Structure 1
Amino acid sequence: MTAAMAGFAVEDAVIKQLSYSMPISQVLMLIGCGGLLSFGVAAALARLPLLTPEVITPWFVVRTVSELASAILFVIAIVYASLSTSSAILQATPLAVSLAAALFLKQHVSVRQWILIMIGFIGVLCVIQPGLAGFKPAALFAVLGVIFLALRDAITRSISVSIPAITVSFWAFFALFMAGVVTVPFFGDFAPITLQNLGLLLISTVAGTGAYVSVVMATRGGDVAVVAPFRYTRLLFALGLAVILFDEEVNAMMMFGSSLIIGSGIIMMVSGGSRRKQIH
């Protein structure tokens, strides 16, 4: 799980770096193509179907659309706000899933779990810092992205377990590719692909696909209650990359908010309030 989170953090950092020389739409399409090619080849070698009756169900389609929307929103956030802030907000996804399950799926949530959810979202406010000098409006795109990620993860629980992980991952990267397609009118013309950008795209493809495989291995091969808390290591990797590569500042308020998000999320998981398998 730790390796998977490192891979996702590297992928996010590469996306931000590529955005300096390429429009967001082009970056999303190219990374999506890399993932589609990788998992398409893997499916062919394993003789696994990519289009099955389960894939064309309404719930799976909604899941894919949620993946598409979250990709657009989160990438906008890390490009126009900051990698550190966006990554911290992303850690609230498990809490948002629990909230969605309580509000829309009518699942029982104890008083303790409600308190943890509220603490987590107070942490999100501390990270965003509305009204303070460090506030960046683009960070709100990350909050919207969390909503769609929560919808995606909530739907994932109702998807047939007979769908191979490779198939699910293939369609996740298809959503990423389509996210690039639908945003083309908003982010301008494509830019030439330099050798440096090609190298970064290769790194992103290896990191992203490797992360997807690693997280599936972790969630299927170990106790979810033990493995799941390690998903928060993604923030540690993201903060390190943000400071080293992009010279971002991480202030005390952001660290405090991140601690609230992570602490409440881990307690929720350990107490059994958030035992589910999640892919991103």
Structure 2
Amino acid sequence: MALSSNLRGALFMSLSMAGFTFNDSIVKLLTDHINVGQVMFLRGVVATVLIYLLARQRRALRPVRVLADRWVGLRVVGEVGGTLTFLIGLSHIPLANASAILQALPLAVTMGAAVFLSEPVGWRRWGAILAGFAGVLIIVRPGLDGFSPYALMIVGTVLFAAARDLATRKINAAIPSLFLSTITAAAVAVAGLFMTWPMGGWRPVSAADFGLISLAACLLLVGYQFIIMSMREGEISFIAPFRYTSFIWALLLGMVVFGEYPDAYMITGGVIVIGSGLYTLYRERVRGTAKPAARSAPRHSP
């Protein structure tokens, strides 16, 4: 494969991660004065409309009966659960901490593929998985000063997202990804609507806030489109490590936008998690396996 194709794929992956992380920053700003359920609903509505129009333009829509597929249902549950836990956690802990914990997703997918799909995982990758989760514990720091129970919500996000990714691998390849994204975006919006009142009730939304919500939805669409484009360019084993640029964006935005400066626990744990993920990708490339980690979606749902 030509190097230029790999570089395009790496650029697309990096742009995708930037889109997702800027979206996270906007949502974190909004949850200071609008509850998570309402943000989920409004952003989900805008995202659903945008993705629906794109899916319709590309003739990617399918009959509703497709939703009867149990794997589609599991994917929707994973998307909704991942979004809810991520936004709740993100509204209470630093952006970089949430991003660092989320980097464990490829490790969780590799573990899930071994346990539930009987994919071969050698002792080296099991060691990397254990090291990665040890890094997560360092970030979460249970029982120590600075521990936040909301960090555990992001751990929940990793589990939900891993279930989503494993379910996605079982869905019929003939079902377009844009159709699945349309359905899951709508499900997230509905879930947000139901969560709005238990989480504090509806609050008036200013034009500026709705503009930010719309921008966040557009950034999500940018993220998903560029990640699709990245996976169609070059070698996955070369492109996948660029998913970790989201951590760099999170560090920068956390400092510039929120005045959040990382501590030694977060940096140490983040380096361990990312290093474990990179080693897992390397081992998958060496062994020429199905690359469950490389193919896992790096982010949460719309």
User: TM-score range, shorter-chain basis?
Assistant: over 0.9
Label 1:102 to 1:47 Cα distance change in 2 as closer, same or farther (>3 A). Answer: closer
Confirm or deny: 8 A CA contact 2:106 2:296 kept in the other structure: no
Confirm or deny: 8 A CA contact 1:219 1:277 kept in the other structure: no
Partner of 1:74: 86
TM-score (norm. length: structure 2): 0.88
Counterparts of 1:219 and 1:67, CA distance in 2: 20
Question: Residue 28 of structure 1: CA displacement?
Answer: 0.3
Within the candidate set 190, 201, 207, 1:195 is matched to 207
Counterparts of 2:35 and 2:162, CA distance in 1: 27
Tell me which amino acid in the other structure corresponds to 2:295. Answer: R
Counterparts of 2:65 and 2:247, CA distance in 1: 37
Label 1:204 to 1:85 Cα distance change in 2 as closer, same or farther (>3 A). Answer: same
Question: Residue 115 of structure 1: CA displacement?
Answer: 0.5
Label 1:172 to 1:31 Cα distance change in 2 as closer, same or farther (>3 A). Answer: same
Counterparts of 1:6 and 1:56, CA distance in 2: 34
Structure 2, gaps ≥5 residues long: 1-12, 285-290
Counterparts of 2:18 and 2:167, CA distance in 1: 25
Tell me which amino acid in the other structure corresponds to 1:189. Answer: G
Question: Residue 53 of structure 1: CA displacement?
Answer: 4.9
Within the candidate set 46, 50, 55, 1:34 is matched to 46
- After superposition, give the CA deviation of every residue in 1:66-99 in whole Å (9 maximum; x if it has no partner): 1101110011000022222111111100101111
Tell me which amino acid in the other structure corresponds to 1:132. Answer: L
Partner of 1:172: 184
Counterparts of 1:113 and 1:45, CA distance in 2: 42
Partner of 1:229: 241
Q: Aligned-residue CA RMSD in angstroms?
A: 1.5
- Secondary structure, in 3 states, of the residue corresponding to 2:205? coil
Counterparts of 1:279 and 1:49, CA distance in 2: 24
**Where in structure 2 are the equivalents of 1:39-54 lying within 5 Å?**
39-51=51-63, 53-54=65-66
- After superposition, give the CA deviation of every residue in 1:30-54 in whole Å (9 maximum; x if it has no partner): 1101111101111222233243554
Question: Residue 206 of structure 1: CA displacement?
Answer: 1.5
Confirm or deny: 8 A CA contact 1:29 1:176 kept in the other structure: yes
Partner of 2:125: 113
Counterparts of 1:106 and 1:183, CA distance in 2: 36
Q: Percent identity?
A: 34
Question: Residue 277 of structure 1: CA displacement?
Answer: 4.7
- Secondary structure, in 3 states, of the residue corresponding to 2:124? helix
Counterparts of 1:184 and 1:14, CA distance in 2: 18
- Secondary structure, in 3 states, of the residue corresponding to 1:186? coil
Asked whether 1:150 is paired with 2:150, we answer no
- After superposition, give the CA deviation of every residue in 1:167-213 in whole Å (9 maximum; x if it has no partner): 12212312321330231232122111112202211220221111110
- Larger mean Cα displacement after TM superposition, 95-104 or 176-185: 176-185
- Larger mean Cα displacement after TM superposition, 163-172 or 65-74: 163-172
Asked whether 1:65 is paired with 2:77, we answer yes
Confirm or deny: 8 A CA contact 2:243 2:298 kept in the other structure: no
Asked whether 1:276 is paired with 2:288, we answer no
Within the candidate set 235, 244, 259, 2:271 is matched to 259
- Secondary structure, in 3 states, of the residue corresponding to 2:175? coil
